[in-house]
């Protein structure tokens, strides 16, 4: 599949890398984002999961066409960017009222609750990007044995700090919200805090490990 920018609104162009999701492609997204951020037509750039979304200022049709051409030219030789981010450990209460889906997920996967927690805590994850809600990290590096589909009907209320699995991804909800991920546990660590110099605890390129404070059946 040829890589090309898709016009998603009058002020949005999005690039989708073909599956599967890889860290290499994410590093290309990071590099492209740095370059594109500098372009005068750009309001902001949103990195997604092997995707890149460019929001422009208000442009005329002619300006938009020219801008799209400039963006496309960047795809001929895409650089890669390695981020040496910080490493963060997130302590989690697994299972019970903290992780209402842990037991069912373990059963469905044919694993014990302890085995699921072991797989989830032994991996080192890379923050691919922050999205969905303030400070929400999308993590790469989930063990394939833990891939599990989202709920068919999302919960109307997922508590703040919930740690979950959605398909091939795992992450933490910084704020209470509706959500469809399978909830394994909960952390007390705030992921977004306006009183801190760096508002979001995590940034793209950081690495993360979950640790188990306790495990409930």
Partner 1 sequence: MKILTTSALASIQDSGRFGYRSMGVDRSGVMDSWALQAGNALLKNDLNEPAIEIAVGSLTVQFEEDVSFCLTGALYEAYIDDKRIPCYWRINAQAGQTLKLLRPLQGMYSYLCVHGGFDIEPVLQSSSTNLKASFGGFKGRYLKADDVVKVRTDSSLRVIGVARLEPTNRIRVIKNSEYEYFTSASKAAFESQQWQLQSSSNRMGYRLDGTALEFNEAVQMSSHGVDIGMIQVPPQGQPIVLMADAQTTGGYPKIATVINADIGLMAQIRFGKNCQFVVVEVEQALREQQKRQHYIEQIKEYAHES
- Contact residues toward partner 1 (CB under 8 A) are 6-12, 14, 16, 19, 21, 43-53, 55, 58-61, 64, 129-136, 138, 167, 169, 174-175, 177, 192, 194, 199-200, 204
Run of H or E including 216: strand 207-216
- State in angstroms the smallest separation of the CB of 42 from partner 1: 11
Cβ–Cβ under 8 Å, residues 56 and 67: yes
The alpha carbon of residue 208 and the mean position of all alpha carbons in its chain are separated, in whole angstroms, by 12
Residue 153 phi/psi, 5° resolution?
-115, 120
Smallest distance from the beta carbon of 61 to partner 1, in angstroms?
5
Our CB check for partner 1 shows the closer of 107 and 196 to be 196
CB of 34 to partner 1, least distance (A): 11
CB of 86 to partner 1, least distance (A): 16
Reference 81, options 150, 33, 11; nearest CA is 33
Cβ closer to partner 1: 42 or 212?
42
The string of DSSP codes covering 107-161 is HHHT--HHHHHHHHHHSPEEEEEE-SSTT-EEEE---GGG-BPPPSS-EEEE-TT
Question: Could you give the angle at the alpha carbon of 50 between the alpha carbons of 176 and 31, nearest 5°?
Answer: 110
Instruction: CB nearer to partner 1: give 95 or 137.
Output: 137
Give min distance, CB of 71 to partner 1, in A: 14
Beta carbon nearer to partner 1, 34 or 214: 34
Please, which residue, 116 or 201, has the CB nearer to partner 1? 201
Q: Which is closer to partner 1, CB of 10 or CB of 122?
A: 10
**99, 113 contact by CB (below 8 A):** no
How big is the chain by its Cα radius of gyration, in Å? 19
The least distance separating partner 1 from the CB of residue 49, rounded to whole angstroms, comes to 4
């Amino acid at each position: 599949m040829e890589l090309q920018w898709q016009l998603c609104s009058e002020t949005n162009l999005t690039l989708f890398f073909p599956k599967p999701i890889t860290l290499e492609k994410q590093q290309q997204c990071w590099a492209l984002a740095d370059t594109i951020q500098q372009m005068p037509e750009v309001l902001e750039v949103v990195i997604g999961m092997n995707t890149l979304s460019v929001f422009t200022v208000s442009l005329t049709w002619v300006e938009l066409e020219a801008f799209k051409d400039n963006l496309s030219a960047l795809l001929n030789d895409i650089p890669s960017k390695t981020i040496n981010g910080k490493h963060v450990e997130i302590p989690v209460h697994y299972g019970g009222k903290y992780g209402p889906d842990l037991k069912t997920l373990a059963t469905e996967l044919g694993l014990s609750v302890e085995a699921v927690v072991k797989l989830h805590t032994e991996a080192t994850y890379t923050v691919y990007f922050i999205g969905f809600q303030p400070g929400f990290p999308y993590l790469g590096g989930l063990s394939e044995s833990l891939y599990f589909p989202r709920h068919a009907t999302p919960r109307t209320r997922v508590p703040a700090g919930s740690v979950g699995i959605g398909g091939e991804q795992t992450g933490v909800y910084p704020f209470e919200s509706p959500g469809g991920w399978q909830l394994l546990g909960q952390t007390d660590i705030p992921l977004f805090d306006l009183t801190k110099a760096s508002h979001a605890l995590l940034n793209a390129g950081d690495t993360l490990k979950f640790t188990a404070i306790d495990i409930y059946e």
